[in-house]
Amino acid sequence: MNLKTKLNKLVFQNPITTASGTFGSEMEEYVNFNKLGAIVTKTITKERKAGNPSPRLYETEWGLLNSIGLQNPGVESFITETIPLYEKYQTPLIVSFSASTQEEFMEVLSRLESVNSISGYEVNVSCPNVENEGLAFGVDAQVVNELTAKLRKLTKKELIIKLTPNVTNIVDIAIAAKEGGADSLALINTLLGMAIDPMTGKSRIMKKICGYSGSAIKPVALANVYRVAQAIDIPILAMGGAENYLDVLEFIYAGASMVAIGTANFYNPAITEKIISDLSQHFSKYNLTMDKIRGKSF
């Protein structure tokens, strides 16, 4: 069935991709990567990043708390060691990256531009900006606008800005990214969360406040996607608690062109392929296309 979809410059065989940080080449044993709409890789930074001390994880009633701290080997090692693992697949590769200054964002992007097999970029602006009192880049519309404009000048490839939901008004940030020249937007990154052992008072996560994901955040993600889709005309890569094809349909009705599967990969590493096959059957049965339903919630 025709599951075809697109962002601004890229066309995909289906709307299912992987949420950054929840998927890697280790999944080859469980998923045929050629079946995916796209692959989004774990966020990389310029230099190696150690990540946070353990415990980094805690499972809540219907979600997951994580405090990985962007552990990654740095852009050079990513290019020589990780990229080749994906080059045998036809699936478009979208590379997520981050930095702690605008200059460093530009350096990482320039370095990645030398790699032909990268189809697009997802810019993770949820991390602390050392030039702005450690506030996340993504909470300041002016900063998002400037940064997007600088990155836009460096690449012709699909430039996706990934928004954090931990802001007063996500629409302001979305507009700032669009006006800066973003091709498309990804939303949402994790909410802020915490869990405490009630018997001792000890935080379950070493860094205490951390990222909250999984099915518990789906209503929040849907509301954000819907608001942005209503407010501006820009393709949306949606994520936040999608676990099955019905969740994916909700996101498409809310306005998403692509949907990323994150935490659900940890419950079942083969889930992305199952969602694609279920979605395909559903589209056949009801004679749907993406254009027929995208943004058509009423």
Ligand X SMILES: Cc1cc2nc3c(=O)[nH]c(=O)nc-3n(C[C@H](O)[C@H](O)[C@H](O)COP(=O)(O)O)c2cc1C
Q: Footprint of ligand X on this chain (CB under 6 A)? A: 19-22, 42-43, 64, 66, 68, 70, 96, 124, 162, 189-190, 211, 213-214, 217, 239-242, 261-264
φ and ψ of 236, to 5 deg: -120, 130
Judged by CB under 8 A, the stretch of 4-12, 101-109, 248-256, 259-267 that binds another protein is 259-267
At closest approach, how far in Å is the CB of 2 from another protein?
A: 31
At 199, the amino acid letter reads: M
> 8 or 60: whose CB is closer to another protein?
60
Q: Which single residue is written with the structure tokens 């860094």?
A: 207
> 34 or 268: whose CB is closer to another protein?
268
What is the rounded CA–CA span in Å between residue 181 and residue 161?
10
**β-strands 191-193, 210-213: how paired?**
antiparallel
Q: Is 54 in the site for another protein (CB under 8 A)?
A: yes
φ and ψ of 38, to 5 deg: -160, 165
- Given the residues 75, 127, 144, 260, the one annotated as active site: 127
**What 3-state DSSP class applies to 219?**
helix
293 binds, among ligand X, another protein, none (CB under 5 to 8 A by kind): none
Q: Is 59 in the site for another protein (CB under 8 A)?
A: yes
Residues near 234 by beta carbon (within 8 Å), at least 6 away in sequence: 8, 174, 178, 182, 183, 184, 185, 228
φ and ψ of 89, to 5 deg: -105, 150
241 binds, among ligand X, another protein, none (CB under 5 to 8 A by kind): ligand X
Could you say which DSSP state residue 136 is in?
B
- Count each helix (H run) and each strand (E run) in the chain, helices first: 10, 14
Selected from 5, 203, 265, 272, the binder of another protein by CB under 8 A is: 265
Check if 127 is active-site: yes
The encoded tokens of residue 17 equal 């991709």
Q: Is 168 in the site for another protein (CB under 8 A)?
A: no
Judged by CB under 8 A, the stretch of 116-124, 155-163, 222-230, 258-266 that binds another protein is 258-266
Q: How far is CA 20 from CA 169, 177, 186, 203, 295, in A?
A: 23, 19, 11, 26, 24
At closest approach, how far in Å is the CB of 25 from ligand X?
A: 15
Q: Which residues bind another protein (CB under 8 A)?
A: 21-24, 26-27, 29-30, 42, 48-62, 64, 66, 68, 71, 263, 265-269
What amino acid positions are annotated as catalytic residues? Answer: 127
